[in-house]
Structure 1
Amino acid sequence: MAEWLTTWTLWHWLVLGFVLLIVEIMVPGVFLLWWGLAALGTALVQFLIPAFSLTELAIFYALLACILSVGWWKYQHGKDHRDQVKTALNQRDHAMLGKRGSVQEIASNGIGRGVFGDTTWRIQGECLRANDLIEVKAVSGITLIVQKVTE
C-alpha cells in the first residue's frame, strides 16, 4: 500500500474514533464509545502494521466494534442481574423473607393479616391463630407465606 494512502486512512480512523467519542459525550448511551474505541484500535493496528488493506481494516474494525459492544453488554447485563438479586429495592416483599411478626387475624382457609413492625401484610399459612408468632418463608404475589414459630 502506498505510504500516502496509509497515512490518509490512518488519519481517517483517528478522526472517526474521536468523532464517535465526542458524539458519545454529547449523546450519552455508552454505545458509540465502543465503536469509537474500535476505530482508535484500528488506527493503532494500521500504524503498527501498515501492510493491511482498507478492506482488511474495515473488517477488523467491524469485528472489534462487535466484540467490544457485545462484551460490554454481557458485562453490564451480568452486573445488573447481580445487583437486582442483591438489592431489595422496589421489592419490599422479598426483603420480608425471614422476618418475624404476629398474626393479626386469620380465616379458616389460612389467609389473613400479619403484623410486621409497624405495617400489616396479607399472609397465608397453616394451623395459625391470632397472636401466633410467625416467620416469612416465601412470597407469592402480594401474599407472604408464613410458618408458625415454635420456640
Structure 2
Amino acid sequence: MEATQLAIVWWHWVVLGIVLASLEIFVPSFILLWLGIAAILVGVLLWFVPIALSTQLFLWAGLSTLLLLLWFLYFRRTPRFRVGQSEDEYAHIAGRIVEVLDARRYRAEFDLPVLGDRVWIVESQEPLRSGDRVEVVKVYGQILRVKPLNRKETP
C-alpha cells in the first residue's frame, strides 16, 4: 500500500490568497482580505524557502491573526462620528428666536443655513424671548442647543 503525500507548492498559496481576497467582494468586512494576504505571503515565503506543511499552516494562521489585529488596532482607529452630528461645522452660527414653543423649546431662524435649513426647533438652558439673538452650541439630530447672544436688558 502506497502512502499519498499532500504536496502544496508556493502557487497553491498564492491562488488561495487571490481567491480569499476576491471573496471579499461578497463579504464586506475586510476579514477575508487579510486571510488572503496572509496566504499570498506564505506562498511568497515558500517560493524562497521550502517549508513543511504544518509550518505553512502555522505561518498562515499566525500571519492572518497578526494582520487582523493590525487592522482592528491601527487601520480602524479612525474617529467615529455620529451621523448628522455636525456641531463643529455649525457651532457659533447666530440667529434669532421667532417663536416661544414652551419653557425650554423655541423656533429660531438663523442667519446662515444649518444642515440645509434656516428655521429650526431649538433648546436653551436659559429662558429666551421672541427676538432674542442666539448662537448654536450643539447639534442633537433634529434639535439644536443654543445660548443667548448679548441679551439687551430692558428696564
Gaps of 5+ in 1: none
Query: For the residues of structure 2 that align with 1:17 and 1:140, how far apart are their CA atoms?
Result: 45
What letter corresponds to residue 99 of structure 2 in structure 1? E
CA contact (8 A) 1:93 1:144 kept: no
Query: Following superposition of structure 1 onto structure 2, how do residues 66-85 of structure 1 map, counting pairs within 5 Å?
Result: 66-79=65-78, 81=79, 84=81
TM-score (normalised: structure 1): 0.71
Name the SS of the counterpart of 1:11 in structure 2. Answer: helix
Kindly indicate whether residue 48 of structure 2 is the aligned counterpart of residue 48 of structure 1: yes
Over residues 102-131 of structure 1, what are the superposed CA-to-partner deviations in whole Å (9 max), with x where a residue is unaligned? 011236734322222431223224242211
Tell me what 1:120 maps to.
120
Q: Please state whether the residue corresponding to 1:78 is helix, strand or coil.
A: coil
Which stretch has the larger CA shift, 5-14 or 140-149? 5-14
Give yes or no for contact 1:93–1:142 (8 Å, CA) kept in 2. Answer: no
SS of residue matched to 1:109: coil
Name the Cα RMSD after superposition: 3.1
C-alpha separation in 2, matches of 1:11 and 1:45: 11
**1:145–1:21: structure 2 CA closer, same or farther, 3 Å change rule?**
closer
Shift of 1:41: 0.5
Q: Alignment partner of 2:76: what SS?
A: helix
Consecutive unaligned residues of structure 2, counting only runs of 5 or more, are 112-117
Structure with more helix by fraction: 1
2:63 paired residue number: 64
Superposed CA offset, 1:11-30 (max 9, x none): 322232232234335x3523
Distance 1:37 1:140 in 2: 42
Cα shift readout 1:52-75 (whole Å, capped 9, x = no counterpart)? 322122111001112222322334
Aligned pair count reads 140
DSSP 3-state at the match of 2:68 = helix
The answer (yes or no) to whether the contact 2:85–2:139 under 8 Å persists in 1 is no
Q: Which residue of 2 aligns with 1:18?
A: 18
**Partner AA of 2:72 in structure 1:** W
Moved more, 114-123 or 59-68: 114-123
Q: Larger deviation: 137-146 or 120-129?
A: 137-146
Percent of aligned pairs sharing the same letter: 28
Query: Contact 2:101/2:107 (CA < 8 Å) preserved in 1?
Result: no
Query: Quick one: distance in 2 between partners of 1:33 and 1:141?
Result: 35
Separation in 2 of the partners of 1:39 and 1:61?
6
Please state whether the residue corresponding to 2:57 is helix, strand or coil: helix
